[in-house]
Structure 1
Amino acid sequence: MQQKRIKINRQLFEETSHSPALVDIVGEEQLEQVIDYCFIANPYYPTDDMLEQMKSKLSSIIKAYPSSNPRLARQHLAEVLQVNAEWLVLGNGATELITLIEKHLVNDLAIPIPTFSEYIEKLRTSDAAKFFQLNPKKNYQLNLAEFASWIKENKIGGALLINPGNPTGQLIPANELKRFLNEMTHLKLILLDESFIDFADEEIPSLLHEVEQYKNLIIVRSMSKHCGVPGLRLGYCCTSNQAFLQPLKEALPVWNINSMAEYFLLQLKNTNKAYHKSRMHVIRDVRDLYQKLIKLPGYQIYPTGSNFILIKIEFGMSAFDLQMQLLENHGLYVRDCSNKIGLDNRHIRVASQGKEKDQFLIAALKELATEHAHR
């Protein structure tokens, strides 16, 4: 791929714990010259037909208020998920729900690290976070038996599990999760984030349909990832515990879900088959990317149960330097994970953007490792 040097705004990387939006970094005029591997969302859904349908309704949708009755939107989602609509709370993205859960329900929280930073940053006090460092020599795989013992030993009241892990991509088998949940019924709250679980396998190993068995369990899911709609800001949580549901529902403002997001929810039932086809497409792409990455010299490639892959740089370059070289010289945007508590400055995260685009990433990573080896 012929690539001219990309001009970027480096300052933006210092102003957020998340990846700055690509358009903010490079500007509209350079946007088409860059492939965004930070984009950890389904690139095949919504379908083109769905997008055309939404475009045709755009003028009427943006001129209308969303429903003031959140039950209606919950019912549309519940029908697709096949769960009790009363157990759902819809949020303006999962981050809104994370904020409310931690504000209203969490006193202290056992957090395996590295993790998604919102779970740390939205706690009411910094000392509410109780960090459990994952072992890099074991691919940052969470050992639930060790985690349970540590929680009991330290008398912690709540626990966070992200499955598959973010940014690690590590998957916890459902039977191990259930064993942990059965052992930890004494906890006030167990927060299970399943935002990437739809990419884990052909059969989705979610615990969504078993929430009634675990009264201290709240499952959080971001629809940005598996549905590919981060701009719509849609997420939900699911629990059968009324003591959890009531304060969350009461804390949400009216119209926290916008009209476009509501219309998208209406389309889910009739496009469910297309959704699962897109999900399987992503799974195949990630498996293909993983097989090609593990052949590259100079990198440690961690196993993944998600649509992204964590990579450790094993030659003398930091994650930030590699990120900048890929972006400025190759037009490829990857996630520098250096600001993730529990990781060093040698890790990047990449999400598959389809086999055709992924080949540019593979070639560029190989080139950088080869250049460094010859210095």
Structure 2
Amino acid sequence: MSEQRSVPLREHLLALKPCRHGGLIQETSETYGIPEGEILDFSANFNPLGSPFDYPESGLNFGDIIEESFGKLLEYPDNRYLEFRKAAARFVGLGVTPQSIIPGNGSTEIVRLVVESVVEKGDKVLLPWPTFGEYEMQCRIVGAEPVYPAQDEVDTLSDEMLDKAKILFICNPNNPTGKLRSREELKALAARCREHKTLLYVDEAFIELSDYSQSVADLPADNDYVFVMRSLTKDFAIPGIRMGFGIASPDMAEILNTARLSWNLGAIANTTGIALLNIEGGIDSPYLKKARAMILEEGEKLKAKLDRIRGFEVGEVNVNFIFVNISKFMLDSGELSERLAARGVLIRDCVSFHGLGKDYIRVAVRTGEENDRLIAAIGEVITEWGREQAKNELQQVIEKASEEGIGGRKTCEYYPCHFEGQNCTFCFCPFYPCENEKTGGKWIKSSRGGRVWSCVDCHLVHKTEIAQKILDCLMQEGDTDELVKVAWKKVMEPIL
């Protein structure tokens, strides 16, 4: 056995596991051979209107930004980022000043900056679960010890727990559940954290797409134990350009601006960020107002359609994504995600969120047409699964009949589902969906709003003499699918 290679890294990093995220378009394209442009992504949560550069009313032109940035490519950015900080403060409002703004290369860099600046190895950090995975990731990198209270336990955290923790992370609205905490809740929590000298880190990455009146961005001004984070990625649907910022007390912000990486916003990100934050109307710009209205309208429509899927328990609509409990659904989160991905539709499998397992998914709210495509794809998956189950059932019927002959299932809790004395050899019809109305079957409206073939008025395969003839065909040597076609032609067509 060869000697295991050692690497000059801190020991606790050797067990570090990647933090899983959505938005895996390229990976999906490579796996399933689907062109990237044909993949519909519900696994990442962005403004459903798309970029403001595609929204004429925004008054923004990306070409102009690139042209302006191009002139700055031969010089280092001004590491003070004065214009960016002024624009961010103006965008947030609430009395926030530029002196409180810390620019960041996306939200993850800001999380890391704060964790590295506050937490030491062995410190406890509070991560109410389930929540955004990067909090845990960045805390583990510095060797912190995560503690996992449930989300509904946050308001009743013990004094002892707060005393021992360096940071309490709150995502508002929470990712992945969509739960929106009120400003009053967070103000009370901030007061407790200040008392116990625990930093309250409030992630408001989605607040502009939700009810921004619940923001606590003003609290850090006179409370060193509150830090608020904002992200431009979600608001403006530009994940390819990493931008965000933190809000802290002026004293804390000054130190964090010294501690952050120098030139962490390149010329394009800096210029783009300034333009976006200076959008006319700011947080109440026509672009963001329309997005919020669209999220509520289309979100409720999508929720209603998801609610009609048997086994789905759908969460509230507070923001541009919906959390769904699928513990009673026929497939777990991994299998459902994979089957949808094979159709070019991505959803977020929530198995990577602490404590959730394979019982939850998260879907973004997109346009009505795109949301309907998601519902249709889920319907296709259900139909596919049903056919697989029917095929498996049919194989079991054939194997059982070869040993015991034709029979019934009068012990079934649903007997008789068609008529008294029916033959139940074929619980699943081997011809489903035959789509032949002469059988008594018909198209009906499904719970998802589409069409589904109903066999409730078809009794043919439950008549003993017909069931026997079908079984005789199916028990011949050959491929089962081909034998089903033969049985239809020999047995069913003459009857119809």
TM-score, normalised with respect to structure 1? 0.85
Residue 52 of structure 2 is aligned with which of 11, 34, 46?
46
Structure number with greater Rg is 2
Q: Which residue of 1 aligns with 2:26?
A: 23
Asked if residue 277 in structure 1 is aligned to residue 289 in structure 2, the reply is yes
Q: Which residue of 2 aligns with 1:363?
A: 376
Report percent identity of matched pairs: 25
Asked if residue 61 in structure 1 is aligned to residue 69 in structure 2, the reply is yes
Preserved contact between residue 148 and residue 184 of structure 1 (Cα < 8 Å): no
Q: Which residue of 2 aligns with 1:227?
A: 236
Number of aligned residue pairs: 351
Q: Per-residue deviation at 1:295?
A: 2.3
Letter in 2 for 1:274: P
Residue 131 of structure 1 is aligned with which of 139, 148, 159?
148
TM-score, normalised with respect to structure 2? 0.65
Matches within 5 A, 1:212-223: 212-223=221-232
Q: Per-residue deviation at 1:341?
A: 1.3
Q: Per-residue deviation at 1:308?
A: 0.7
Residue 62 and residue 321 in structure 1: after superposition, are their counterparts in 2 closer, same or farther (change >3 A)?
farther
Residue 219 of structure 2 is aligned with which of 197, 201, 210?
210
Preserved contact between residue 174 and residue 207 of structure 1 (Cα < 8 Å): yes
Q: Distance in 1 between matches of 2:161 and 2:383?
A: 45
Preserved contact between residue 227 and residue 275 of structure 1 (Cα < 8 Å): no
Q: Which residue of 2 aligns with 1:117?
A: 133
- Residue deviations 1:317-348, cap 9 Å, x none? 221111111111x3211111112111111211
Preserved contact between residue 296 and residue 317 of structure 2 (Cα < 8 Å): no
Residue 307 of structure 2 is aligned with which of 258, 271, 294?
294
Q: Distance in 2 between matches of 1:349 and 1:291?
A: 15
Q: Which residue of 1 aligns with 2:465?
A: none
Q: Which residue of 2 aligns with 1:151?
A: 161
Kindly indicate whether structure 1 or structure 2 has the higher relative contact order, using CA contacts under 8 Å at least 6 residues apart: 1
Residue 348 of structure 1 is aligned with which of 361, 365, 382?
361
Residue 54 and residue 187 in structure 1: after superposition, are their counterparts in 2 closer, same or farther (change >3 A)?
same
Structure 1 residue matching 2:356: 3-state secondary structure: coil
Q: Distance in 2 between matches of 1:197 and 1:148?
A: 28
Q: Per-residue deviation at 1:94?
A: 0.9
Preserved contact between residue 194 and residue 221 of structure 1 (Cα < 8 Å): yes
Q: Distance in 2 between matches of 1:232 and 1:351?
A: 20
Q: Which residue of 1 aligns with 2:325?
A: 312
Structure 2 residue matching 1:230: 3-state secondary structure: coil
Matches within 5 A, 1:77-96: 77-82=88-93, 83-96=96-109
Residue 126 and residue 60 in structure 1: after superposition, are their counterparts in 2 closer, same or farther (change >3 A)?
same
- Residue deviations 1:143-162, cap 9 Å, x none? 4332345724x732321111
Residue 249 of structure 1 is aligned with which of 257, 264, 271?
257
Preserved contact between residue 199 and residue 283 of structure 1 (Cα < 8 Å): no
Q: Report which stretch shifted further, 224-233 or 44-53.
A: 44-53
- Residue deviations 1:234-272, cap 9 Å, x none? 111101151x32332112233211222222233232433
Structure 1 unaligned blocks of 5 or more: 1-13, 135-140
Residue 42 of structure 2 is aligned with which of 37, 40, 44?
37
Preserved contact between residue 23 and residue 31 of structure 1 (Cα < 8 Å): yes
